[in-house]
Structure 1
Amino acid sequence: MESIFTTEKPQQKHWYQEPWMLLVIGGPAIVIVASFYLAFLAYKGADHVIAPDYYKRGLAINVDIRRDMAARERGLEAGLQIDESTRAVSLRLSGQGSLPPTLALRLSRPAGEGTEEIVLKANLLQAGAGVYRGKLDWPAALDANAAFLWQVNLDGGDWRLTSGWYGPIHAAVTIKPAG
């Protein structure tokens, strides 16, 4: 009869050979590797929340606000009309105080996809009391009859008028001070 008791020591597995250890260590190890990968992605693709020239931009906003307030205090208001066939710009400006001899007109709208925009500029010369005229050039590919959201900016030096309108470029628009 063989003995139930043996003097041989049972073969023990090393700790890394145990299947349960893979579950105990494997989960946290995967989480650590994934967190390093996500930290790398966050660092590489980080959005820049603050612009490098944020202080200059802030000062420029204050200047624009002062220019808008100056236009409001003077009671300035403009009526803009663009002739589609001749591309002639006619502007009637009313308000208190002296009017400048020239004005800078800027029209802009999104070009489509992305951040591109179409910008049209014209210098307007005073043709009479409160009447300004100029010529606006736009690319041949621009459909003047299509309705878009246009942003208009009328610059008079120490004041500005801004407005937006939806319609074709040759539609009449009234520009009043922001505020």
Structure 2
Amino acid sequence: MKTLKQTGPIHAATPKTLTPWYAQRWPWLLMLGPMAVVLAGLFTAWLAFTYQDALVVDDYYKAGKAINQDLRRDREAARLGISCNLRYNAAQGVLSGVLHNLQQSETPATSTEEGAAALGRGTLQLRLIHSTLPAKDILLNLQADRQGNFSAALPLLDAARWQVLIEDRQGNWRLHGNWIWPQQRAIDLRAEG
């Protein structure tokens, strides 16, 4: 039988000085991901409760019927051959435009007043609808002269994509289009039939 020789003193296992868990970097690194998700969830909840969602319609049936009404007005504008040119001068704060009747030479009215009435010249409504913020929508009541010229004071527009709607006061026809301000200084609206 062999005996083992002891070559050095036997040391008892002495515990190292242990640092508490919060002093270690690994638990914090592992908790960083879940903490980021919780913060992002809180931020999303804050956004959802702070800003009202304006895209939801309460009565879908009425909204569907309104789409058909809008299409009828678009077809009427195309039948009349209506177009509009809008130009915005930001330095002066003036939106000006001209309403045209493309078929005026083909079907002249018996008088200029009847022609103006057919186009709704006189009182027009112009809506500038902000792409994301309904509080920034603008409604302008315009007075067009016999040649279809009109202008209105307009404060500086936000840089955004605006939806433009122009219609007669009675709601018989409408023109619409998209306007990317400030990349487009002017916009031409034509009826699509």
User: Are 2:172 and 1:158 aligned?
Assistant: yes
Give the match for residue 123 of structure 1: 141
8 Å contact kept, 2:82–2:119 = no
- What is the Cα deviation at residue 122 of structure 1? 1.3
Q: Which runs of 4+ in 1 moved over 3 A?
A: none
Structure 1 residues 150, 129: closer, same or farther in 2, change over 3 A? same
The answer to whether the Cα contact below 8 Å between 1:84 and 1:170 also exists between their aligned partners in 2 is no
Q: Which runs of 5+ in 2 are unaligned?
A: 1-55, 105-114
Name the CA shift for 1:110/1:134 in 2 (closer, same or farther; >3 Å).
same
Counterpart CA distance in 1 for 2:95 and 2:178 is 17
Are 1:61 and 2:67 matched, yes or no? yes
1:170 Cα deviation after fit: 7.1
CA apart distance, 1:137:
3.8
Identify unmatched segments of 5+ residues in structure 1. 1-49
The reply on whether 1:106 has 2:106 as its aligned counterpart is no
Compared with structure 1, are the counterparts of its residues 169 and 106 closer, same or farther at alpha carbon in structure 2 (3 Å cutoff)?
farther
Give runs of aligned pairs for residues 1-179 of structure 1, distance below 5 A. Answer: 53-95=59-101, 96=104, 97=115, 98-100=118-120, 101-111=122-132, 116=134, 118-137=136-155, 143=158, 146=159, 148-156=160-168, 157-168=171-182, 171-179=185-193
The structural deviation recorded for 1:166 is 2.1
Q: State the distance in 2 between where 1:170 and 1:123 align.
A: 23
Mark the CA change 1:164 to 1:87 in structure 2 (over 3 Å): closer, same or farther.
same
Residue type of the alignment partner of 1:57: A
Structure 2 CA distance, aligned partners of 1:154 and 1:116? 18
SS state of the match for residue 158, structure 1?
Answer: coil
Partner AA of 1:174 in structure 2: D
Structure 1 residues 106 and 123: alpha-carbon distance in aligned structure 2, compared to 1, 3 A threshold: same
Deviation of the 1:107 alpha carbon: 1.0
1: CA distance between counterparts of 2:135 and 2:96? Answer: 24
C-alpha distance in 2 between matches for 1:87 and 1:169: 17
Identity %: 36
Paired residues in the alignment total 121
Give the TM-score taking structure 2 as reference length.
0.54
Give the counterpart letter for 1:118 in structure 2. Answer: K
State the secondary structure of the residue aligned to 1:127. coil
- Deviation string 1:88-126 (CA, Å, 9 cap, x unpaired) is 221111114533211111112234xxx656212211111
The 8 Å contact of residues 110 and 117 in structure 1, kept in 2 or not, is answered as no
- Evaluate the alpha carbon distance shift between residue 116 and residue 52 of structure 1 in structure 2; reply closer, same or farther with a 3 A threshold: closer
